[in-house]
Amino acid sequence: MEMVTYEDESEMSMVYENFRDATVRNDALKSRSGEDSNVPAAALGIKLYRLVAVTFGLLCILQVTLNICLCLALFSQRDSLTEERDELKRINSDTEARCKNVTEERDELKRINFDTEARCKNVTEERDDLERKLKTSVSQRDSLTEERDELKRILIGLGWVYFSDSIYYISSTKKTWQDSRNDCLQKGADLMIINSKEEQDFTRQSKKNVWIGLTDSETEGTWKWVDGTPLTTSYWASDEPNNSGPGNTAENCGEVMMHQLENNWNDLSCDYLKLWICELKLRP
């Protein structure tokens, strides 16, 4: 910033010229004192005094102007510094906020990464456990398959007949329904349960009247298989079951007869002596 303006320099030049002229005139007056002795000395002193006063006034004005300029410059610098300080404070505050957000995001990412690693570890452990269980199941299945096949070979050798994942034994002697079932149970089997048309057709191939695992001895008219499941699909012969035996004897047990017919079931008194058919499921 310029501390002295063009106008101030002009005024200083004028003051300097006036002062120089006054000095020259004073010297001239002195040199001509002999010639102009009529000019009063007091008048010269007054002029000189006025000249000095004007000069001093101009210097004061110049000093005030310089002071004002300095103050304005200082105020301007102060305002600028204040604005810079406030801007720095704002920048610092924003930076701290960003750093806080970055720190929180970093901590959240660490937590997510930790959770992800934990889940991956759990998933890996569960996968390994499932693989172990699968291998165990496969091994057990293979073992059961081998045992089943071995049992199948043994039973076939003892006169059992294999059909549709089950193996059947048809007796050569006759017993009551309950004694027949007990014999099946002792063999690890039970009286035959007919679940399909294929099994019904299979019973017809023997051409023998045999007990099957069907009874309504628990509740009259409610027929159930020996495993407790209710009868849904039946192959009763015409007018059967009629629960009407000789001498009004209750007929609570089921047999297969009349093999030339598809529907050939009959209800009969459980005390009759009949052949029977046992069933052992070989499905693993």
Q: Checking phi first, is residue 159 left (phi over 0); if not, alpha (psi -120 to 50) or beta? A: left
pLDDT, residue 70, reads 85
pLDDT of residue 5: 46
Say if residue 34's pLDDT is above 90.
no
Does pTM surpass 0.75? Answer: no
pLDDT digits (tens, 9 = 90+) for 100-111: 888 888 999 888
> Which of 58, 74, 97 represents a domain boundary (last residue)?
97
Q: Cα(177)–Cα(195) distance, rounded to whole angstroms?
A: 20
Residue 105: partners with Cβ closer than 8 Å, 6 or more residues away: none
| pLDDT for the residue 149 | 79
Could you list the residue range(s) of the whole structural domain that residue 256 is in?
Answer: 161-281
91 and 180 fall within a common domain = no
- Say what the pLDDT of residue 20 is: 61
153 located within any domain = no
Which of 229, 234, 240 is closest to 268 using CA atoms?
A: 240
- CATH code of the domain containing 182: 3.10.100.10
Q: Are residues 90 and 168 in the same domain?
A: no
The mean predicted confidence, pLDDT, of the chain is: 84
Residue 229 has pLDDT above 80, yes or no: yes
For residues 93 and 182, state if they share a domain.
Answer: no
DSSP classification of residue 108 = H
Tokens of 103: 């720190």
Kindly state whether residue 45 falls inside one of the protein's structural domains: yes
Q: What is the mean pLDDT of residues 258-267?
A: 94
State the pLDDT at residue 100: 87
- Predicted confidence band at 184 (pLDDT cuts at 50, 70, 90)? very high
Domain boundary among 75, 97, 119: 97
The reply to whether 125 falls in a domain is: no
**What Rg do the C-alpha atoms of the chain give, in angstroms?**
65
Tell me the per-residue pLDDT of 51-95, one tens digit each, with 9 for 90 and over: 888 888 888 898 888 888 888 888 888 888 888 888 888 898 888
Does residue 152 fall inside a structural domain?
no
Instruction: Confirm whether 149 is domain-assigned.
Output: no
Query: Is the model more confident about 11 or about 235?
Result: 235
Domain check: are 167 and 91 in the same one?
no
pLDDT at 274: 97
Q: Is residue 139 situated within a structural domain?
A: no
Question: In this predicted structure, what is the pLDDT of residue 53?
Answer: 84
Give me the mean pLDDT over the 197-225 stretch: 95
Number of domains in the chain: 2
User: Has residue 172 been placed in a domain?
Assistant: yes
Query: Does 79 share its domain with 166?
Result: no
What confidence score (pLDDT) does residue 30 get? 54
The whole-number average pLDDT for the span 162-178 is 95
23-24-28 Cα angle (round to 5): 115
Identify the domain boundary among 78, 97, 116: 97
| Strand (E) or helix (H) holding 223 | none
Residue type (1 letter), 44: L
